[in-house]
Amino acid sequence: MRYAEWCTAAPTLEADIAAAAMGLDDIGHSRVLYGCLKELDGEGDGEDRSYRNLAFLDRPWRAWSQFVAANVVLDTAFTLMIEALAGGKVEVLRTRLRKMLQEERYHYLHGHSWMKEADAGKAIAGAWREAVEWFGPQGSDVDELQAAGALSLTVLELRARLRERLDRPEPPISIDWSGWDQDRRRTSDGRIDQPTLDMIQGLAERRYMPGG
């Protein structure tokens, strides 16, 4: 959704098209993931978890630097977790996530090129902190899943891979893990803004539907 908001507002026509294309890719990836992740804890058909988003996605991005930060840092963090799932022993994840990783390669190349051009240092530092919160603290569920063989990487290995992939040191990050919510994977309160939620649920478009 946040990518779609920039599909006519990016600095160049090529970036507009890329934002739209990557948004469509990620919608497809989300559908695949939600259908597969129940294999990890058996809860895929229960409570709706789809709006437990990172704080970085709570509000529309007001600057191109925020798009760049999400594209290069958060998307790369998500890709690393997908790689860890594909490298684990859960067969449905190993087989169904390979094509997703091929498509994410193009997202990475786009984000990395803009990281070199845009003045996005502050936004990148903020997104990086949220990526670390999303991975979680040592000894949490990610490390438990890695120990059980469902993931191929630990929390520390994910953070190291993120540094390697972005080719820069991790910015100074201090997190009070006592306030970390494992389900929402964040330490801050808040939620996605209501207008965006209405659009995701199709409520905003109902006013354009014929009556009756």
Which parts of 89-148 are beta strand (E)?
A: none
At 43, the amino acid letter reads E
Q: Are the CB atoms for 118 and 65 separated by under 8 Å? A: yes
- Other C-beta atoms lying within 10 Å of the C-beta of residue 17: 12
Give, in words, the CATH class of 59-170: mainly alpha
**Minimal CA–CA distance to 40: which of 134, 130, 136, 149?**
149
Burial of 97 (0-12, 13-18, 19+ CB in 10 A): buried
Q: Tell me the pLDDT of the chain (212 aa) as tens digits.
A: 787 787 788 888 888 888 888 888 777 787 777 777 776 665 544 455 556 788 998 888 899 899 899 989 999 999 999 899 989 998 888 888 877 787 777 777 777 777 777 788 899 999 999 999 999 999 999 999 999 999 999 999 999 999 999 999 999 999 999 999 999 999 999 888 887 777 777 655 555 556 54
- How far is the C-alpha of 123 from the C-alpha of 104, rounded, in Å? 21
Domain map of the chain by residue range?
Answer: 59-170
Handedness of CA 104, 34, 20, 9 (dihedral sign): negative
Which tokens sit at 85? 């799932």
**Encoded tokens for 23:** 């948004």
CA distance to 85, 195, 204, 206, per residue, from 210 (Å): 44, 21, 14, 8
DSSP string spanning 175-210? --GGG-BTTTTBSS-----HHHHHHHTT-TTGGGSP
